[in-house]
Amino acid sequence: MHAPIVRKRFGQHFLHDKQIIQRIVEMIAPQPGQHLVEIGPGQGALTVPILRKIGQLDVIEIDRDLIPPLKSRCADKGNLIVHEADALEFDFAELAEPDQPLRVIGNLPYNISTPLIFHLLHYAHDILDMHFMLQKEVVERLAAQPGTEDYGRLSIMMQYHCQVIPLFNVSPAAFYPPPQVESSVVRLIPYQEISHFARDYKHFSLLVREAFSHRRKTLRNSLKELIDDAEWKTIAVDSHLRPEQLRVEDYVNISNQLNPK
């Protein structure tokens, strides 16, 4: 296979290590009849072995130059359905069916991974699970626990929606061109029923964002635009704590207390 033309604006790093590819496919464990969607198939490192296993696969690819060779490689492997689109703007609900939730996979470009994950959270109720290759530090932030340096807005918003399971790390040598950082594979499983439900999700999201926009300050100071002194007296959380000391359910409870309806 010829070395692909790498387009920096798309943040492309093509996976080529066969052992890593096999390990990822084993972790995904695709089964015939399941509806898998791959974001950024590139040269088809994951596309080909998965298509062989399940016979049909939707892929979303923004780089039109990669699509003809990808179709050629997959011509005798199964039914490849290509959506030439930007995954950040793609409506995943168009692919979802009530009795067949989506399984989303991808080696995500580092420069869009976080906004893309937030975009996918809008469709969490349509998704069975997600398996992504991400920058290692992003996976650490997704899985971080309260009181740690990596814990922040991304941790809380993801853990509100999903169980986060880091799987294994991948060295830069597994890619062409090799990235400057180590990567990790993560499994995200959206909760069928959210245990700590925010009555006003927009307010909950705003609360978390405001708290961590000033993470070195106490909650009383970082949230002063949203919560006044009188309201703090009604909230069962110490306002002198720092944002990273609160659990997901603590933020939900604060939001729900401020929005009782």
Residue 235 is predicted with a pLDDT of 93
What is the pLDDT at residue 10? 43
In the prediction, which pLDDT does 2 show?
46
Q: What is the pLDDT of residues 16-39, one digit of tens each?
A: 999 999 999 999 999 999 999 999
Q: What is the arithmetic mean of pLDDT over 245-256?
A: 97
The reported pTM is 0.91
pLDDT, residue 12, reads: 59
Q: Indicate whether 89 pLDDT > 70.
A: yes
| 111 — pLDDT class (breaks 50, 70, 90) | confident
Q: Do residues 56 and 34 make contact, with C-beta atoms less than 8 angstroms apart?
A: no
How does residue 211 score in pLDDT terms, banded at 50, 70 and 90? very high
pLDDT band at 214 (very low <50, low <70, confident <90, very high): confident
pLDDT band, very low/low/confident/very high, at 6 (cuts 50, 70, 90):
very low
Instruction: Decide which of 71 and 8 is more confident.
Output: 71
Q: Which fold has domain 8-190?
A: Rossmann fold (3.40.50)
Range name among 2-6, 85-89, 125-129, 244-248 with the lowest pLDDT average? 2-6
- Please name the residues in contact with 14: beta carbons below 8 A apart, sequence gap of 6 or more: 4, 6, 42, 43, 45, 175, 176
Give me the chain's average pLDDT, please.
Answer: 92
Q: Domain segments of the chain: what residues? A: 8-190, 201-258
User: CATH fold of 201-258, please?
Assistant: Helicase, Ruva Protein; domain 3 (1.10.8)
Q: Identify the pLDDT of residue 8.
A: 44
Query: What does the pLDDT read at residue 195?
Result: 87
Helix axis angle for 248-258 and 153-161, nearest 10°, is 80
Q: Please tell me the predicted confidence (pLDDT) of residue 204.
A: 97
Alpha-carbon distance of 154 to 166, in angstroms, equals: 15
pLDDT number for residue 5:
46
For residues 146 and 243, what is the distance between their CA atoms, to the nearest angstrom?
9
What does the pLDDT look like over 116-148, one tens digit per residue?
Answer: 999 999 999 999 999 999 999 999 999 999 999
DSSP assignment string, 133-159 = EEEHHHHHHHHPPTTSTT-SHHHHHHH
pLDDT of residue 213: 94
CB atoms inside a 10 Å sphere around CB 136: 16
Write out pLDDT tens, residues 143-178.
999 999 999 999 999 999 999 999 999 999 999 888
